[in-house]
């Protein structure tokens, strides 16, 4: 009996609360904004809203801090990726620049090749003789390509030297700056003859020039073609300084080689009949 009364009371309370809430909901649904807090609601909100705002601001700050932390991580990863990209691009730029310079050098070499007598072979400098500083070089062409001893070697700027030994795939070139080298030359302007001899250390000297010969600083020297090795008319160098010793029968001059003997990378070998 008591249980029945309790159950009925329970249902009455439930239904009363339902009616109360449905009434509240109906009032709310009919209001313009579908929400009407009323004086009690407003009073509660007046107390709780500042707390709620403070908590929301704190949450927003935490969210912002977290976003910044994540952004820093992302930026770090991106930075590493961009650095790698910059390094790769720098390497590519260096490689392309190198290729462009090589192309320019080869173009100049090709232009010189057209003006040379006989058959020419382009060769790459693969080694230098470290024992005789800048005096011989090794090129990647040999007897298999038709290279023989005493073949003249030139660059786009002028005479380099001559082949002193050749294997099947390579050849050693004696530079005009080597002390063992001697090349017959003419002063291009006055046509006086002399001999260019190496002095070592990248310099050459014009010897056996008669005291009466007309020579000036800046005169260009070309091969005379008399030695039987170099064809006539190849540029050898420029007179830098004339030395006239008192009482001597000949005069000498310091000559700047036309070819950059210490920076050679590609050369031409004149092979066959000249």
Partner 1 sequence: MLRGSVGRGLAYGGIFIAAALVQSAWLVRLEIWGAVLDPLLPLVVAIGIFRGSEAGAVSGIAAGLLQDLLGGTTLGLYGLSKMVIGFAAGLFERSIYLEDPLLPAVAVFAATVAAETIVRLVVVIARLGPVPWPAVVPEILVQGALNGAVAPLAFRLVRTIEQRFQRR
What residues line the site for partner 1 (CB under 8 A)? 10, 13-14, 17-18, 21-22, 24-26, 28-29, 34-38, 41, 44-45, 48, 51-52, 55-56, 58-59, 63
**What CA–CA distances, in Å, run from 183 to 1, 12, 63, 144, 176?**
138, 129, 84, 27, 7
Closest CB to partner 1 among residues 34, 263: 34
CB 23, min distance to partner 1, A: 8
Closest CB to partner 1 among residues 14, 85: 14
CB 74, min distance to partner 1, A: 21
**Residue among 199, 188, 174 nearest 252 (CA):** 199
Bridge partners, 154 (sequence order)? 159, 268
Triad 114, 118, 119: Cα angle to 5°? 80
CB 61, min distance to partner 1, A: 12
Closest CB to partner 1 among residues 4, 29: 29
CB 94, min distance to partner 1, A: 51
d(CA 257, CA 243) in angstroms, rounded, equals 17
**Residue among 183, 161, 193, 170 nearest 259 (CA):** 161
Closest CB to partner 1 among residues 42, 103: 42
Closest CB to partner 1 among residues 55, 70: 55
CB 14, min distance to partner 1, A: 5
239 membership: H or E segment, kind and range: strand 235-243
């Amino acid at each position: 009996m008591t249980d029945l009364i309790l159950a009925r009371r329970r249902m009455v309370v439930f239904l009363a609360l339902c009616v109360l809430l449905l009434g509240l909901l109906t009032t709310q649904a009919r209001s313009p904004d579908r929400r009407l807090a009323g004086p009690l609601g407003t009073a509660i909100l007046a107390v709780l809203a500042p707390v709620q705002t403070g908590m929301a601001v704190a949450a927003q700050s935490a969210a912002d801090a977290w976003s910044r932390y994540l952004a820093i991580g992302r930026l770090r990863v991106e930075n590493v990726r961009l650095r790698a990209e910059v390094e790769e691009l720098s390497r590519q730029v260096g490689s392309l620049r190198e290729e462009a310079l090589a192309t320019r050098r080869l173009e100049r070499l090709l232009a010189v090749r057209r003006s040379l007598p006989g058959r020419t072979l382009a060769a790459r400098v693969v080694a230098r003789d470290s024992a005789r500083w800048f005096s011989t070089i090794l090129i990647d062409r040999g007897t298999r390509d038709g290279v023989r001893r005493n073949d003249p070697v030139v660059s786009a700027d002028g005479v380099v030297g001559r082949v002193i030994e050749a294997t099947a795939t390579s050849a050693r070139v004696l530079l005009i700056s080597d002390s063992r080298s001697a090349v017959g030359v003419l002063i291009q302007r006055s046509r006086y003859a002399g001999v260019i001899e190496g002095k070592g250390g990248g310099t050459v000297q014009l010897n056996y020039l008669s005291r009466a010969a007309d020579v000036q600083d800046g005169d260009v020297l070309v091969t005379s073609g008399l030695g039987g090795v170099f064809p006539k008319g190849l540029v050898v160098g420029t007179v830098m300084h004339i030395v006239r010793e008192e009482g001597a029968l000949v005069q000498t001059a310091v000559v700047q080689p036309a070819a950059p003997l210490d920076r050679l990378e590609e050369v031409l070998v004149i092979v066959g009949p000249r």
